[in-house]
Chains A and B, each alone.
Chain A
């Protein structure tokens, strides 16, 4: 592996460039209904710069194509795009005709599932491609719904319920690891490590601070993806043209990830206007998309999507809404040279995602919550020819997300001494008692500047066809919001143990930006050895994150990521592949700059019935949990797979086994310490005087109060392993029926290096009579899921009819915690001065440790839910003028889900049914395809 960079440099050198075996591809593009040739259709070879237009006879031709698997993509305004996988021979010319139809439902080979054989552009690792036809056939409101076409991703009904995230090749474990509340869960960590790229630019969650932090009492009304992945609700499914999901080892051009990459391309280019709508009991959605050429070299596309979901109709007035607008502009800068078409692509994305839970005075007086995100992103991609066979791409974007959240609740607080000090020191406090209305607001303005310079060149050398790319990536992220705002006297917290103080407001704009740089090189080599085609993809990426706020400041942490994928095709129907690589994810801004923690130690707590006689004295300690050693989370990925494809309409089998391990995931580690508490005597404590007692200064004595500081640390390990399989059986011609089976068995172990101080620590803190309390090692939480998805597709192109029956079978669903919970499971004890004293397991039964032998708190039962399944039905039919109408019934048989005898309860999503209508307006407006 250490010689890889040298090898790359060598093979990249054009000095030794030479031509290798090459073949041609030709064919005609015709209409499905009439067989009429289609002139002017754009034909491309995906993942390559090859592109051409069909001539007046509908014929296209590519020459000098490298051997191996490719995908032909044919587009023409007014028609559904057609994707055809091919295998280019070593020599000669491959003849491949392509059929176009007005709508995808009329295409003879419609694909309504993710394509295991579809090759993500330029990627050799395991990847699925979901094209527009499959997206249109999927009942989805946002990207989360589209990703349900992948193996192992459970189905959900359409709508805007909850925060929607996806963590590739991972299953959630039972609970967050560790004692610290608010720490990331396995699902959060996996989602955070899944890179989402929208139109060439990463969608970042690194500067999302919409959380009250690890110590805040998170209100369940406050939903946010902070600390997790991107909230996928912001990306409407209706505006997506294509999704590539790289679950295996990605090429070196993709960084800031540990799990995988989801590459989303929205609909852009010249396209007839199309309006679509969806209606069910909860969700109403409408979208409009259209694009046209503005004469000359300019083309614009606009998409608008609006959706509203009533979250619990009949019970509450809670709803979620989204409006998304995208404007795309393309300026062609010159004629195509060897497929590289110089162009400047500009995109402006806006979205507004809001959830509103208004107050219902007769149910929960005072309780209300609202959250709103408004996003604006401008991105530019300049693509220029680089020599005869190269492309230079410059990408730049500015991304702004304005987040506003508020939670209002009626809270009840017992008589607690209280101080509002925001600096260290002692002060006279007061008592805040009774019911009050807390109003917490979080105002974040997350920014991201991103740029990438990439050179991509194809050449021959050492007997191989090379596709070499090198690039540099710059990113800067920060949050400029007003932060966490609330009245200190009326916080969202109501519990206070006399040490761990109430949180204080915090400004986000005081947090410095985080700057990262990445450099990468990647080479894809292809060579045919007789009938055998070998492909190798090797890359190296270096991610750096800087000490200061700019790319010119010193490097705080760096990680080198070699990646290698290899594929061998001994026969056109067989592909064997394997890969190994390293990935890395930069910590979030919130982890790098955590909020300060306040400890309000009560020195005097003199509470009487007469408010005038009360006296509270508190000393405030402020601790900064910033961890200067916090660095990248590093993932290692390995996989091996086999793919068998027997003809276009034949059997397709794809099996891959993988192991993804993320070390150094950022969580919170509880670091023990102690504070000195001064205790005072009174000069006069007689009641009935109308005066508080007089304090005798200085303090007559002092004791220590143990504390735990929640420090962000690279303390989490996420270990995922499993097998993914996709099987597509040949069509049963008489019944026009295809069976598509996907399965994923995934096992996740989620562990923390930190210690667990148990639930009794709060009592230990305030009770000076307790000299020590036990601590335990961290918990490893395990989960295992075997999810099988059967899709039965009945397709009648002549009727424009597709009936899809989806059966999701959860064959295994286990959650288990690897932990000792008995009274001898403690690892040691902590003293009142925060000192950790380990106790060897052989001595834990000794009489001197009798006080430490207590049952460990928490629920660690094995939870196994019996196997069960549910069914979803969808019927789609073409309408006149190329329209489409679908009826869907999610969980159509209203199955409940088997209930486990333990705590775990599986409840399937409820029966949901509705309609989708898509109408192309082009024909109505006289802007059709212009073909017979």
Chain B
């Protein structure tokens, strides 16, 4: 069966499976980052605020060693032509979830999702194609106060309400990239769409939401002397998210959060409803250069990103809109070399993302909110994979620096959260005939240095919906995770694997007493069945 066929089959199975609940926190990442980093749906000029966690596993059990290149590292679609040299297809079906009190106020308490993913790539004629399809069904018994899909963006506009309903979310994502060789030039494009439908179940204050995120990208690459290859590309992502909160049969409150000031509590009574819509648009232009140096493959890339988000609450011809405009850079480099022989592969990567944004409210003149955020991530990973050997493994060191500055000029408060996350990861696997077993461990230390507003001086909605998040980020925490897997090599080209992964994050030390700080731990888990076909 062809890769694309498998992907679609699995998407079909997904629809018959379960589903996952509210929107945040994001589930544990079961796939090595390079396998999904090329997605045209990657968010531009927007740094999401994540819960502290460990880096994703590289999956020495069934995945190939990490790849770098214009496509895998920089997400430049034209790179797929050179980066894909053999066909591969992975079909995954499984369940992911999370629970625990060590979270933010807008996160859900506990959720579970059934998710099916198909990802594959293969050379085609004078080029190559890659594609991915995801379908998931997510259910939460008690969703958070956030009515929107991802309330922890750089963007300060958040829609929340007073209900904590049970919700169902159906999501689908379809994306692909293709490139062709045209003499010295390569041309490529990527397209994708992600769609979501989420709605409450048997709620007295129903919440209905839907979102669409389309994306397009295109680029050109040219082969230069000295084995160099340069590429330029452009990206566009659009998208809309619409919410309806209906006061039937119950009465509810809607909070249009904007920064750190307390919004007016909008009471919605029968038979009225509240409407809110976000139209988001972003674009990026960038380039990359890759080549070889002393037997090592390297790539450098940079991308300038811009974003405009508009929010409206009425369906008029020219409704008053809240706006968020942001711009940023993504700059990175990666190098990969075999040291000292074929058994070891060293991969080092670094990436910096910077976003500066300004918010304007429809009812005010001028800028009311400004954010300057930066994340720098670096890693070095050594793979050991001897030809014909039974053992293989990987060890990695990760360093993450976050610098998040957000200032609200209306209430004249700011947050300045700077943090270091140092993480180590070790994975080993061994073959027992046609069966393989693998285990992985990772641990990280999150150490912040922060200034946040005194919650006691802020409004009640800040205390209810925002304070817990800021308090969480000023607490040192200790995320750790483990992964266990079994694989059966059905034949030379096909592997069936079962994986289980669990991650837990808790507060580290108790010297600091922070008001509204969460307690306990947050646990994320994933169980997956995979079918891998490669040659």
B-contacting residues of A (Cβ < 8 Å)? Answer: 279, 281, 313-315, 360, 362-363, 799, 801, 873, 875, 877-880, 885, 887, 889, 892-896, 898-901, 905, 910-915, 917
A814 to B135, CA, bound (A): 40
- Which of B2, B211, B238 has most A Cβ within 10 Å? B2
Interface string of B505-518 (1 = CB under 8 A from A): 00000000000000
Contact A894 B2 (CB under 8 A): no
Contact A279 B15 (CB under 8 A): yes
Chain A residue with Cβ nearest B170 = A281
What are the 3 A-B residue pairs with the smallest beta carbon separation, nearest first? A314-B199, A894-B212, A885-B8
Chain A residue with Cβ nearest B197 = A281
Contact B9 A885 (CB under 8 A): yes
- Assess A313 versus B199: contact at CB under 8 Å? Given A885-B8, A905-B315: yes
A894 to B270, CA, bound (A): 26
A852 to B4, CA, bound (A): 74
B482 interfacial by beta-carbon distance below 8 Å: no
Contact B5 A877 (CB under 8 A): yes
Interface string of B217-239 (1 = CB under 8 A from A): 00000000000000000000011
Contact B246 A915 (CB under 8 A): no
Contact B195 A913 (CB under 8 A): yes
Contacts of B203 in A (CB 8 A): 314
- 22 examples of A-B residue contacts, CB within 8 angstroms: A281-B170, A313-B199, A314-B200, A315-B246, A360-B249, A363-B248, A801-B4, A875-B174, A877-B5, A887-B133, A889-B172, A893-B239, A894-B210, A894-B241, A896-B277, A899-B317, A900-B317, A901-B317, A911-B195, A912-B197, A913-B172, A915-B12
Contact A887 B8 (CB under 8 A): yes
Contacts of B211 in A (CB 8 A): 894
- Assess A314 versus B201: contact at CB under 8 Å? Given A880-B1, A887-B172, A889-B195: yes
Contact A893 B199 (CB under 8 A): no
- Assess A314 versus B193: contact at CB under 8 Å? Given A281-B170, A885-B9, A899-B317: no
Contact A911 B317 (CB under 8 A): no
Contact A892 B214 (CB under 8 A): yes
A597 to B211, CA, bound (A): 52
Q: Which of A363, A801, A885 contacts B249 (CB 8 A)?
A: A363
CB distance from A286 to the nearest CB of B (A): 12
State the total of A-B contacts with C-beta under 8 angstroms.
95
Contacts of B238 in A (CB 8 A): 893
A542 to B9, CA, bound (A): 56
Contact B174 A887 (CB under 8 A): yes
B240 interfacial by beta-carbon distance below 8 Å: yes
Contact A879 B316 (CB under 8 A): no
Contacts of A901 in B (CB 8 A): 317
Chain A residue with Cβ nearest B1 = A880
Contact B5 A895 (CB under 8 A): no
CB distance from A908 to the nearest CB of B (A): 11
A132 to B199, CA, bound (A): 35
Contact B240 A893 (CB under 8 A): yes
A362 to B204, CA, bound (A): 9
Contact A362 B174 (CB under 8 A): no
Q: With contacts A314-B203, A885-B9, A885-B11 known, what are 20 further pairs, Cβ within 8 A?
A: A281-B199, A314-B199, A314-B206, A315-B208, A315-B248, A362-B249, A799-B4, A801-B4, A875-B174, A877-B5, A879-B5, A880-B1, A889-B193, A892-B214, A894-B211, A894-B241, A894-B242, A895-B240, A901-B317, A905-B315
Contacts of A313 in B (CB 8 A): 199
Contact B193 A878 (CB under 8 A): no
CB distance from A616 to the nearest CB of B (A): 35
Contact B199 A799 (CB under 8 A): no
CB distance from A565 to the nearest CB of B (A): 45
Interface string of B175-218 (1 = CB under 8 A from A): 00000000000000000010101011101101110111010000
A875 to B175, CA, bound (A): 11
A801 to B238, CA, bound (A): 26
CB distance from B253 to the nearest CB of A (A): 19
8 Å CB interface, B109-149 against A: 133, 135
A313 to B135, CA, bound (A): 20
Contact B210 A910 (CB under 8 A): yes
Contact A878 B15 (CB under 8 A): no
Q: Which of B4, B277, B316 contacts A877 (CB 8 A)?
A: B4
CB distance from B334 to the nearest CB of A (A): 32
A801 to B124, CA, bound (A): 15
CB distance from B457 to the nearest CB of A (A): 39
Contacts of A911 in B (CB 8 A): 195, 197, 210, 212
CB distance from B245 to the nearest CB of A (A): 11
CB distance from A103 to the nearest CB of B (A): 12
- Which of B172, B238, B242 has most A Cβ within 10 Å? B172
CB distance from A488 to the nearest CB of B (A): 31
- Assess A917 versus B200: contact at CB under 8 Å? Given A887-B172, A894-B240: no
A899 to B277, CA, bound (A): 14
Contacts of B242 in A (CB 8 A): 894, 896
A362 to B240, CA, bound (A): 33
